[in-house]
Amino acid sequence: MMKGNILIVDDDPLIRNSLYEVLRIEGYDVGLSSNGIEAFEELKRTNYDIVITDIKMPELDGMGLLKRIKENFSNIDVIVITSYGSIENAVSAMKFGGADYITKPIIDDEIKLCIRKILKNRKMSQENDYLRRELASKLNKYQNIIGEDPKLQKIYSVIDMISNTSATVLIQGESGTGKGLIAQAIHESDATRKNMPFVEVSCGALPETLLESELFGHVRGAFTSAIKDRVGRFELAHGGTIFLDEIDTISPILQVKLLRVLQNKEFERVGDTKTKKVDIRIIAATNQDLETLIQEGKFREDLFYRLNVINIKVPPLRERKGDIPYLAEHFINIFSHRFGKVVKRFDRTVMDRFFNYSWPGNIRELENVIERGVVLAQTEIITLNDIPENITNFDRKEDLINNGNGFNALKDALKEPEKRIIYETLEHTNWNRKRTAELLDINRTTLYNKMKEYELLDK
């Protein structure tokens, strides 16, 4: 049961004392006042969660007390007691910020239920505020990387551990998983580099001839269109970080030149003989399996090992579906502001479809879906009519059958919420295993085995 401090305000001693006995038996801390003025003075001295006040009292009545409370103690919820048949008073009280009302004669179960509901809502509000603060803190620290999944927690830990080093990083993950955000977070976490350039190059977007010039620069006359000297991205990134996305697409010749930069931090501009040295951190990213490309002769093994000093594997969205509500809230706020619309939340059926869908396009696909939803929404709620049919009509069972991995996928789907619950409970108890086991109603050996299975022991 959630504890709470409650102040009862009524000029009728019979009602006052009766409520006192009922609520004390329930385990609440209860104070008493016989009128509004006395109650207001008591609120100045003592912290209360809830005030239960009669609407009709001499001197300062319940409505007047409610107004004073809302003006001076916005965190206190007020329950108004009104006579049967005086519902208009209750309606007025609710307009002025009353949390709820009950009518005389007072039924014990009714007042207890009313209090439980208010305290539950208060707890949820406090938890939401805490989560928002935590999310804002992490967004600021980790460059808008959003999520609480244990796999992301490991990435956060790696970012912290390498923050003030120059170690080369290889980020691997499917398209749309946020590899670029992680690269930015690594750069921003480095106190010596964060105020220096962060230069991003999409290697797959340029042909080999242009990519070499883009990376290393060129001198005038190096080729037909080279009418003046050009500074390359490596020089521009001096003192900071260069992020080479789609590293798997570079040609064998450029792979050799990149290997030299990784080894010696030096290179020559195209058409030049003068060697330039740079102080940079190199971060590379790919959505391909580089080890397979090595076996196929498409990627140099020595380059792979030079890049793979620190390896970060970014999980696809389908493996961290518990983060979908966080991501969805983030995107709905962004696009509501961008388009000047008041769109606040999703219909429950929409979120059900989100959890059911496999998200082949990962976070980028979710972002696009929510942008569409905000644009099309007719009210403050995004409904099924506002999201694409491929999501609303997605058949998870058929998808599993077609992929031939239904049983394994089911096991993985069941593990995900269990892992999240264990992790959140450990966080709640400050990683006290004994208390966590008690809250989860399992023995400590089972908890230990689960922590080992989900790689939570090294937290």
- Cα→Cα distances 446→21, 237, 254, 416, 442, Å: 43, 50, 52, 17, 6
The structure's pTM equals 0.60
Query: Which of 77, 26, 87, 23 lies closest to 55 in space, CA to CA?
Result: 87
Angle at 424 between CA 311 and CA 317, to 5 degrees: 45
Listed ranges 70-74, 339-343, 431-435; the one with the highest mean pLDDT = 339-343
- Calpha distance 384→396 (Å, rounded): 17
Which pLDDT score is estimated for 206? 85
Which pLDDT score is estimated for 409? 46
Q: Is the pLDDT of residue 424 over 80?
A: no
The domain limits of the chain are 5-128, 150-313, 318-394, 400-453
- Calpha distance 170→293 (Å, rounded): 15
What is the mean pLDDT of the segment spanning 315-326? 91
Find out if CATH 3.40.190.290 is the number for domain 5-128: no
CB 270 within 8 A of CB 222: yes
Tell me how far the alpha carbon of residue 366 is from its chain's centroid. Answer: 14
The reply to whether domains 150-313 and 318-394 share a CATH topology is no
- Calpha distance 267→4 (Å, rounded): 68
CB 184 within 8 A of CB 240: no
Strands 5-9 and 29-33: parallel
What is the mean pLDDT of the segment spanning 19-26? 91
- Calpha distance 430→411 (Å, rounded): 28
Q: Is the pLDDT of residue 402 over 70?
A: no
CATH class of 150-313: alpha beta
Tens-place pLDDT, residues 191-206: 999 999 999 999 998 8
Listed ranges 13-17, 95-99, 396-400; the one with the highest mean pLDDT = 13-17
Which residue type does 55 have? I
- Spell out the SS3 assignment of the chain: CCCCEEEEECCCHHHHHHHHHHHHHCCCEEEEECCHHHHHHHHHHCCCCEEEEECCCCCCCHHHHHHHHHHHCCCCEEEEEECCCCHHHHHHHHHCCCCEEEECCCCHHHHHHHHHHHHHHHHHHHHHHHHHHHHHHHHHHCCCCCCCCHHHHHHHHHHHHCCCCCCCEEEECCCCCCHHHHHHHHHHHCCCCCCCCEEEEEHHHCCHHHHHHHHHEECCCCCCCCCCCEECHHHHCCCCEEEEECHHHCCHHHHHHHHHHHHHCEEECECCCCEEECCCEEEEEECCCHHHHHHCCCCCHHHHHHHCCEEEECCCHHHCHHHHHHHHHHHHHHHHHHHCCCCCEECHHHHHHHHHCCCCCHHHHHHHHHHHHHHHCCCCEECHHHCCHHHHCCCHHHHHHHHCCHHHHHHHHHHHHHHHHHHHHHHHCCCCHHHHHHHHCCCHHHHHHHHHHCCCCCC
Query: Which of 379, 384, 378 lies closest to 356 in space, CA to CA?
Result: 384
Sign of the CA dihedral with 416 first, then 420, 426, and 431 last: positive
Q: Is 273 exposed, middle or buried (0-12, 13-18, 19+ CB in 10 A)?
A: exposed
Which pLDDT score is estimated for 42? 93
Q: Is the pLDDT of residue 457 over 90?
A: no
Which pLDDT score is estimated for 229? 87
Those residues whose C-beta lies under 8 Å from the C-beta of residue 335, and which sit 6 or more positions away, are 341, 343, 370, 371, 374, 375
Q: What band does 1 get if pLDDT is binned at 50, 70 and 90? A: very low
Listed ranges 24-28, 78-82, 293-297; the one with the highest mean pLDDT = 293-297
Q: What band does 377 get if pLDDT is binned at 50, 70 and 90? A: very high
Tens-place pLDDT, residues 209-245: 789 889 998 888 878 777 888 889 999 999 999 999 9
Torsion angle of alpha carbons 446, 448, 454, 456, nearest 10°?
A: 150
Peptide bond before residue 105 is cis, with ω within 30 degrees of 0: yes
State in Å, rounded, how far the first CA of the chain is from the last one. 31
Greater confidence, 62 or 306? 306
CATH class of 400-453: mainly alpha
What is the CB neighbour count within 10 angstroms for residue 156? 18
Q: Is the pLDDT of residue 247 over 90?
A: yes
- Cα→Cα distances 85→78, 90, 111, 114, 354, Å: 20, 10, 18, 19, 46
CB 280 within 8 A of CB 239: yes
Which pLDDT score is estimated for 193? 93
Which pLDDT score is estimated for 450? 86
Q: Is the pLDDT of residue 400 over 80?
A: no
Greater confidence, 10 or 56? 10
Q: Is the pLDDT of residue 77 over 70?
A: yes
> Architecture of domain 318-394 in CATH?
Orthogonal Bundle (1.10)
Q: What band does 441 get if pLDDT is binned at 50, 70 and 90? A: confident
CB 364 within 8 A of CB 175: yes
Q: What band does 148 get if pLDDT is binned at 50, 70 and 90? A: confident
Which residue type does 222 have? A
Q: Is the pLDDT of residue 159 over 50?
A: yes
Q: Is the pLDDT of residue 61 over 90?
A: no
